[in-house]
Amino acid sequence: AQAPVAAPELVHPAAWQIGLITHIVAILAGNMLFAMACLFSVVYLYQEHQIKAKVIRLVVSRLPALDALDRLNHRAIALGFFFLSLGILLGIGVGGTPAESELMLGLRRAVPILTWIVYAAFLLQRAFQGQRGRITAIWSIAGFLVVITSLALEIYILAGRA
C-alpha cells in the first residue's frame, strides 16, 4: 500500500489541502454540468427526430422546445468549461505524486486537457460561427465521451493506489 498523498515542501500543508479539495470539487462540478449538457443533447436529438418524423407523442409535447434545449446545452457547457478550467489550473498547482509513473502522470494531465480542447472548440464554434442545433448536440455528446474516458482513467489510477 502506498502512503497518502503529501503536500510539496514549498507549500503549507493546509493551503495545499484546500487547493486539492477545490480542484476535485471544480472538476466534479464541471463534469456534472457536462453530463447535464449531454442529457440536454440526447433529448434535443430525440425530439428533433420525432418532429422530423412527424410523430407527436405526449412525451414530446411535454419536452422543452428545441431552442430552449440548445440554450440549456450551451449554458451548461459554458459553466462546465469554467469549472473544468479552474480545476485544471488548480490541478497543475497541486501537482501529481512522485510515485506516479511518467506515463500515468502524462495521461492524467493530457486527458483533462483534451476534454478542455473539445469544449473550447465547441464554445469557439458557437461564438464565431454561430453553430446551433444538431451539430452542437453531437459535439456535446462527443465531449462527454472524453469526460467519461478521463473519469475512467482517474478511477484506474486511484484504484492502483489502494
- pLDDT tens per residue across span 4-21: 555 556 667 788 889 889
Which three-class secondary structure string do you get for 16-59? HHHHHHHHHHHHHHHHHHHHHHHHHHHHHHHHHHHHHCCCCCHH
Spatial CA neighbour of 88 closest among 8, 139, 158, 30: 30
The whole model's pTM is what?
Answer: 0.82
Alpha-carbon gap, residue 5 to 113, rounded angstroms: 22
Selected residue with higher pLDDT from 147 and 131:
147
Burial 107-140 (b: 16+ CB within 10 A, else e): bbeebbeebbebbeebeeebeeeeebeeebbebb
Name the percent of the chain lying above pLDDT 90: 46
Tens digits of residue pLDDT in 72-107: 999 999 999 999 999 999 888 777 555 555 655 677
